[in-house]
Structure 1
Amino acid sequence: MTTLAARNVSRRDGWWFLPPFRVFFLIVTLALVLFITIPPVALLSLSLSEQFDLVWGIFPSGISFDMYRDWGFQIFHSIGDSLRIAIPVVVLSFLIGLPVAYALARLNFPGKGLMGELISIPMVFPPIVLAFGLMQLFGNGPLGFVGPWGAIIFGHTVVAIPFMIMPLVSALHQIDPAYEDAALSLGAGRLRTVLTIVVPNVVPAIVTGMALVFARSISDFEITLLLTTPDISTMPVEIYHAFESGSTRLGAAVSVATSLFSVAIIVLIEIVVRKAKWW
């Protein structure tokens, strides 16, 4: 009996013995993994396939690198344009987002709640609506003198800055204000206190915000499309033009390059957050 009981316990602990909710969880997890991985695999296969048709809609029918060889310069050009926009957006979002987040977390002033709500508006506004508004503002509006690069950077900053402010506000709420009060009581000014006490303690939130802002800027399509000129072609715009012209394989190649580039940047930022424990 003891051996039989032990065998039953072993069976219950085994993978084959799964209650219905575990079976459901396993099925949903596998479906989610397939749902996430199959589209990039299909795009990669399409960009490498010698023919337009894929085997089972996923696997390439022959391997060819002609898309990357013939259009490599255009792909790298779109990556360069995306970086020329995303990097200033990250810097501006940090320079503006840090003082705004500090004010929301530490200071009391009239309209504080309204300001917090206004900051989240770009996250819930339909991007195309905001893009049309920015197009009017930078087209024939009061900011028409700003060039296309400046207009796109400003537009990206507007929609991306909440992704910088919100992690900072959350991190600032976790820091005991007594540390800042102690520094102020010892004669340190407000700016010095922020730079020496606050900033080192919110570096993970800053890096997280930078990653989110970078990802939001590098993937923006609506604002870039409406404010761009023929000389500016970011990765999402290049993908759109490729599919619009009927070059599906080129669009797939640019999509793969965009995905690999974005993932590489995010992984690099993650490594910095995990390894650089200097804060």
Structure 2
Amino acid sequence: MTSIRKASPLRWTYLIFVWAIILFVLVPLATTIWVAFFSNKILSFPPEGYSGTWFVQAWSLDAFRSGFFLSFQVAVSASVLALCLGVPAALAIGRYKFRGREFINTVLMSPLMIPAIVAGSAIYLFYIELQIWSDVQFASTVYGLTLAHALIAIPWVLRLLVASLAGLDPAIEEASLSLGATRLTTFFRITLPLIRPGITAGVLFGFIASFGDLEKSLLLVGPGRITLPIAMLNYLEYRTDPTIMAVATIQVLIIAIALIISDRYVRLGRTF
């Protein structure tokens, strides 16, 4: 009984700490969504009323509209490219032991550890040197930006696929091979369907990471083109009306949908 009484204050302290962190994360998001519906032309509290006109205003601005389409295009392309590179890498790292395995895994996961502005600067300088050497332009092009964003997406695809492979019994693949199936047939008929949830979650996480990226895009986007995060940053330099909150609300909604779908396929709490 004494031990329960002693543990009770500690438990309450832990719960308060957890809820404080949850509120610290959720309150800014909730405030952003709330402010997006203010009718005030200048951000102020309390609101004069509520309106949805700021969403229409945001869509009517070419910077937000073109920025959204470019961000969506680059995020989808980068996710697909990361999938093409991440699946073979995950199979090699998750299924085989070879010299340099940990080094390759560290290199592929490094975009999560290197500051984004440092990585963006390095990629930009590399593109410039590559253009001087080969006369092929990568800097300030859509495909150059897509390649850079693929580096952001690869760690998520790799991490989720390796986690999926860890939960897959190798005996199932061995049984397929022992029954006469080739390795290629075994991959497409056995392995691929079993790791499909991890592939789906990895692609969606890669999309989220690319869609919300600002630092790399600032350095690599071409003239006359802007991504949605850059359009939002430019807008904030001159105006403070709820239009920016409406854009942020749409961005949060898209990312939330992707996270919900990802969690449907892979229990993210178990993965991370």
CA contact (8 A) 2:232 2:244 kept: yes
The residue that corresponds to 2:22 in the other structure is 33
The residue that corresponds to 1:181 in the other structure is 174
Of 101-110 and 68-77, the range deviating more from structure 2: 68-77
Q: Which residue identity does 2:214 align to in structure 1?
A: F
Q: Which runs of 5+ in 1 are unaligned?
A: 1-11, 13-17, 275-279
The residue that corresponds to 1:60 in the other structure is 47
The verdict on how the C-alpha distance between 1:244 and 1:53 changes in structure 2, with shifts beyond 3 A counting, is closer
- Indicate the structure (1 or 2) with the bigger Cα radius of gyration: 1
Once the two structures are superposed, residues 79-128 of structure 1 have per-residue CA deviations (whole angstroms, 9 ceiling, x without a partner) of 22221011111111111111111111222333222111211211100110
The residue that corresponds to 1:259 in the other structure is 252
Q: Which residue identity does 1:234 align to in structure 2?
A: T
- 1:220 deviates by 0.7
- 1:120 maps to 2:109: yes
Once the two structures are superposed, residues 2-46 of structure 1 have per-residue CA deviations (whole angstroms, 9 ceiling, x without a partner) of xxxxxxxxxx9xxxxx93123323422432332222212322343
CA contact (8 A) 1:100 1:165 kept: yes
Of 164-173 and 153-162, the range deviating more from structure 2: 164-173
- 1:219 maps to 2:212: yes
In structure 2, which of residues 150, 154, 162 is the aligned counterpart of residue 169 of structure 1?
Answer: 162
3-state SS of paired residue (2:42): coil
The residue that corresponds to 1:208 in the other structure is 201
The residue that corresponds to 1:73 in the other structure is 60
Find the aligned partners of 1:66 and 1:40 in 2 and give their Cα distance.
Answer: 20
In structure 2, which of residues 212, 229, 232 is the aligned counterpart of residue 236 of structure 1?
Answer: 229
In structure 2, which of residues 137, 141, 146 is the aligned counterpart of residue 145 of structure 1?
Answer: 137
In structure 2, which of residues 77, 83, 97 is the aligned counterpart of residue 108 of structure 1?
Answer: 97
TM-score of the two chains, using structure 1 as the length reference? 0.81
The residue that corresponds to 1:4 in the other structure is none
Indicate the RMSD between aligned Cα atoms, in angstroms. Answer: 2.5
Find the aligned partners of 1:187 and 1:141 in 2 and give their Cα distance.
Answer: 47
Once the two structures are superposed, residues 155-176 of structure 1 have per-residue CA deviations (whole angstroms, 9 ceiling, x without a partner) of 0111220111112112212222
Of 217-226 and 135-144, the range deviating more from structure 2: 135-144
- 1:68 deviates by 2.2
CA contact (8 A) 1:51 1:62 kept: no
CA contact (8 A) 1:45 1:54 kept: no
Q: Which residue identity does 1:162 align to in structure 2?
A: P
Find the aligned partners of 1:177 and 1:265 in 2 and give their Cα distance.
Answer: 30
Find the aligned partners of 1:70 and 1:261 in 2 and give their Cα distance.
Answer: 19
CA contact (8 A) 2:148 2:216 kept: yes
Q: Which runs of 5+ in 2 are unaligned?
A: 268-272
CA contact (8 A) 2:33 2:245 kept: yes
Find the aligned partners of 2:262 and 2:100 in 1 and give their Cα distance.
Answer: 35
- 1:248 deviates by 5.0
Q: Which residue identity does 2:48 align to in structure 1?
A: S
In structure 2, which of residues 147, 150, 156 is the aligned counterpart of residue 154 of structure 1?
Answer: 147
The residue that corresponds to 1:8 in the other structure is none
The verdict on how the C-alpha distance between 1:176 and 1:42 changes in structure 2, with shifts beyond 3 A counting, is closer
**Higher relative contact order by CA 8 Å / sep ≥ 6: 1 or 2?**
2
- 1:272 deviates by 6.3
Q: How many residue pairs align between the two structures?
A: 255
Percent of paired sites with the same residue: 26
TM-score of the two chains, using structure 2 as the length reference? 0.83
Q: Which residue identity does 2:217 align to in structure 1?
A: T
In structure 2, which of residues 146, 166, 184 is the aligned counterpart of residue 191 of structure 1?
Answer: 184
The residue that corresponds to 1:9 in the other structure is none
The residue that corresponds to 2:270 in the other structure is none
What does residue range 2-21 of structure 1 map to in structure 2 within 5 Å? 19-21=8-10
The residue that corresponds to 1:15 in the other structure is none
